[in-house]
Each structure stands twice: as structure tokens, then as C-alpha cells.
Amino acid sequence: MANSKLNLLIQTLSLSIFFFSEFAISSLAESSQVFTQIKQQNEDNEPFVGVNIGTDVSNLLSPLDLVAFLQLQKITHIRVYDADPNILRALARTKIRVIISVPNNQLLAIGSSNATAASWIGRNVAAYYPETLITGISVGDEVLTTVPSSAPILLPAIQSLYGALVAANLHNQIKISTPHAASIILDPFPPSQAFFNQSLSSVILPLLQFLSRTGSPLMMNLYPYYVFMQNKGVVPLENALFKPLTPSKEMVDPNTLLHYTNVLDAMIDAAYFSMKNLNITDVMVLVTETGWPSKGDSKEPYATKDNADTYNSNLIKHIFDRSGTPLHPETTSSVYIYELFNEDLRWPPVSEANWGLFYGNTTPAYLLHVSGIGSFLANDTTNQTYCIVMDVVDSKTLQAALDWACGPGKANCSEIQPGENCYSPNNVKNHASYAFDSYYQKEGKAAGSCDFKGAAMITTTDPSHGSCIFPGSKNSGNKTKQVVNSTQLRSAGERLSFNTFSSIRIIAANHLLHIFLAAVFPTLLLFLL
């Protein structure tokens, strides 16, 4: 009898330990998955600044080079105007999140056929996700105002694509919406009086109801530049550029007494009030386009590099301040800057080709003042720029510029002498780049100090190579500090991740221990009796 009880105890303990270990492993794995999902959701819910990437650019970077450039510039969110398979492949296994688009000319086919919509999702989304982090689909672009004849097919197209996302079980990861022009909102100031154009209500209301049901954003293309241009003398330039205002210049909504220190916040709140008028209060605004042109024709005197720098630099700071809007201080809309590159193949007017942060060759169109506000465009600040040789310059011109820099210009050219670190490769272009940067840094990066009669250009890419360290790198006094801080931040983040996961493991282990004891205890009693 004693032997049978002992055998029973051993068998029960063995089975209990087996099931305990199996359940523990699966539960801990599940806990790890849950933690990863929570972390991913938290990252996705943080307000961000992204960029739009248009392709009407001479000598556009190859997809692989484009992705490398995005990573160099610490750009983590992009929006493209199609679903180029080469770009989607190049984005695979990076941390860059992308909104892809359905061009306006594809709306009719998709809105008329569920099979076409399913094929589009299979070909452009399911084929790449999750290796490529597709976070959204923008269906058409400003359809209601640019191609009103397609308005009746817009919502059916969105619904068909959403149905295909549901079928692929991707509807929770990928949101679907359509970008609108600001002009669909009438009487936008004061924001409390704003309302959607009633001639569009047959499309707008069911669309907003769809966005509410699916947790998708209202996509808006909002340009304070155009508001200012159309209301000069009424809207102060400072208000359009996020510049500090005296109280007398602040816009005040007489109905709510909310103070607006910038035009963009007023435009976003106008969208919220317009939705509220239709009893929609749970849809967030996502600014899919905003920006300021850096060059214009004689009729566009405010399209300047200084204004573009001021607008986009202050915009980035404003989003990362996470101060929301006067109506919704708890909610900060994410924005996509229009745009990454100047689309030099677009015109007229002149400004159409000059909305980019960079030229097509990745040279900055102007230098943003964004240092100290986070990692976005960390390599595109006034503290990290270099002066190098322009791509196509004849050797005679380069030699003359090199001689001047190392002679009358008093640049320190010791490093490009024979046997020194920057002597190789021994050619005039390499030596001139070093000399140009030496002069540029010596002059404190002053305006005009990187010209050399058109032979030089400013770049944010460090031209240092091997043991050859360019003067711009040597002079970056805050570089070490930034690396240390980022390491500290990463360590703190890792500690937080570890502590959170450890807590999950402790809770799971306690839970499993109770199950284990509950299974074993009756057998122990039986044995003892």
C-alpha cells in the first residue's frame, strides 16, 4: 500500500513538474509577446514628425540609398504617394514606419470591385508586412476638392480596402483614411465657428463615422503659408511661423476665449470643431502635409529660406513639446513635413519646386535649427555641417580654389600634406574638400564661407574617412556628450524594459506556483494519510 502511494506521488509530481515547466515557458513567452506589443503601441502613439517623399526629382536616390539617407537623418516616419515595391523592399527590417498611398487614378477600380481592393492589399501590403512597417494607407489625395467627380467612389474604395485588411487580419495594425485639403472646412477662424462644406456632407459624415468605428485619423493637409498669403494684413507673419507673439497679436476665439499663438493650431482645432458639429468627438487629426517653401517668384516674396527654416524648425519643436492645441492640450497631432526633397521637375509657380528640406543630391536646401529637441534630423543642424567640393567641378577651378584656401584663406592644410592622415587619396578633389571644410569651420560657418566661386557645397554627411578626420568633426565639441547621453538613455530604457518584463515574469511565476501547489497538495495529503 505504501509503495503504491509512493509511486502515485512520484508520478503526480513528475506530471506536475512537466506541465508546470511547459506552462511556465509558454506563459513567459506570451508575457514577452504582450510586453513587445505594449512597447510597440506606446511607440506608435507618441506624437512624431515625419516627411513626405515626392518623386518628381532629377536623379532621385535609389531606394537603398534613400533608406540609408533616412536612417542617417534619424527620420522614422515617412509618407509616399504610391506603393513603390522597390521602396517597400528597401524599408524591410528597418524601424522606419511608412504610410503608403492609393493614387487618385486607381480609386474607380478599387471602389468598384472588392476583388480589386483585395488584390491591391495583397500586392502592396500583405506582401511586405510586417518586415516593412506599413502603418497606414492614404486613399487618394484631396479627392473632394481636386477630383470632385470621384467623391462618390471615395468611401466605397476605403471600405473595400478596409475589408481586405480585415480579411488579412491587418486592420488593427494598419489604419486607413484619406487626406483632405484645408478648404473642405469653411469659416475656419475663429475655430469654434468652423464647419465642413455642407455640399460635401453626404461624403464627410459617413466617412467620419467610418473613421470613428475603425480608430483611424482624419488626415488633413494644412498649410499656414497659404493662410498667411491669402490673409496678409490680417494674419501676422509671426503667427504663421510659430514666432513668439505679444498678447495683442495673439488670435483669440471670442466664443471660447482660447488664445491661439500659431496658425497651425487654429487650423487643427477648426477640424475638431467641424467634427464636433457632426457629433464626432473621438477621431484624431493627423497632419499629412505641412511646410513652407524656401523659394518663390516675384508674387511669392515670403517664400524664403529664412521663413522655411523658421517655420519647419519651430514646427518640429512645437510637436516635440507635446503641448497639443488650445482646444485639446492633452492631444498632440503628429505631422508630416512637405517634403523631403525639392521636386525640381514640378512647376509653375517657382515655389512648387521648393518645398524640400534637401535638394535631390541630399544637400540641405537650408539649415534647420533643431538641435536639442530630440533625435529627429539630428544630422541636419547648424552644429553638424561640413563644406566639401560640389559634385561636378573642373580640376582647374578646384586647384585655384584649393590654392586660395590654403594660402590667402589661411585654412589649416597640414593634414593633406604627404604622409599625413588626409593625404590619401592623393587627388585635388579630396584635398580641396578638406581645405574647404577647414576654411568653413575657421570662419565659424559664416554665410558665404562655403562657396569658393560655386565649387563648394554644404553637407550634413560627415566626409571623414579612415584616419582622416575632417575639421567639422574635430570641432563638434558636443558630439561626445551626445553619445554619452544617448548611451545613458538607452541604458535607462533597457533597465525599464528589463524591470517591466521582470515584473511580468514574477507575476506569471507566482500564478504558476499556485497552480503547481494546487495540483500537488492533494496528492501529498493522500500520501501522508
- CA 444, 448, 449, 454 dihedral sign is positive
Query: E strands within 15-117?
Result: 49-53, 77-80, 97-102
Residues known to be catalytic = 142, 289
Distance CA 373, CA 381 (A): 11
Distance CA 242, CA 219 (A): 22
Which grid coordinates belong to 204? Answer: 464627410
Closest CA to 48 of 335, 375, 468, 285: 335
Residue with cell 582622416: 468
Query: Looking at residue 77, what DSSP letter applies?
Result: E
Bridge partners of 219, per DSSP, are 179, 286
Q: What b/e string do you get for 150-188 counting C-beta neighbours within 10 Å, with b at 16 or more?
A: bbebbbbbbbbbbebbeebebbebbbbbbbbbbebbeeb
Distance CA 49, CA 370 (A): 12
Total residue length of the chain: 529
Which helix (H) or strand (E) is 218 found in, with range? strand 218-221
Residue 316 has, within 13 A of its CA and on its CB side, a CA count of 25
What string of H, E and C letters represents the secondary structure of 282-304?
A: CCCEEEEEECCCCCCCCCCCCCC
Characterize the bridge pairing of strands 185-186 and 386-389: unpaired
What string of H, E and C letters represents the secondary structure of 345-377?
A: CCCCCHHHHCCCCECCCCCECCCCCCCCCCCCC
What string of H, E and C letters represents the secondary structure of 455-492?
A: CEEEECCCCCECCECCHHHHCCCCHHHHHHHHHHHHHH
Which grid coordinates belong to 281? Answer: 468627438
Give Cα separations from 333 to 47, 98, 132, 355, 421 (angstroms): 6, 17, 24, 21, 48
Q: What b/e string do you get for 450-465 counting C-beta neighbours within 10 Å, with b at 16 or more?
A: bbbeebbbbbbebbbe
CA dihedral 291→292→295→299, nearest 10 degrees, is 130
Distance CA 295, CA 365 (A): 10
- CA 480, 482, 488, 491 dihedral sign is negative
Query: Looking at residue 60, what DSSP letter applies?
Result: P
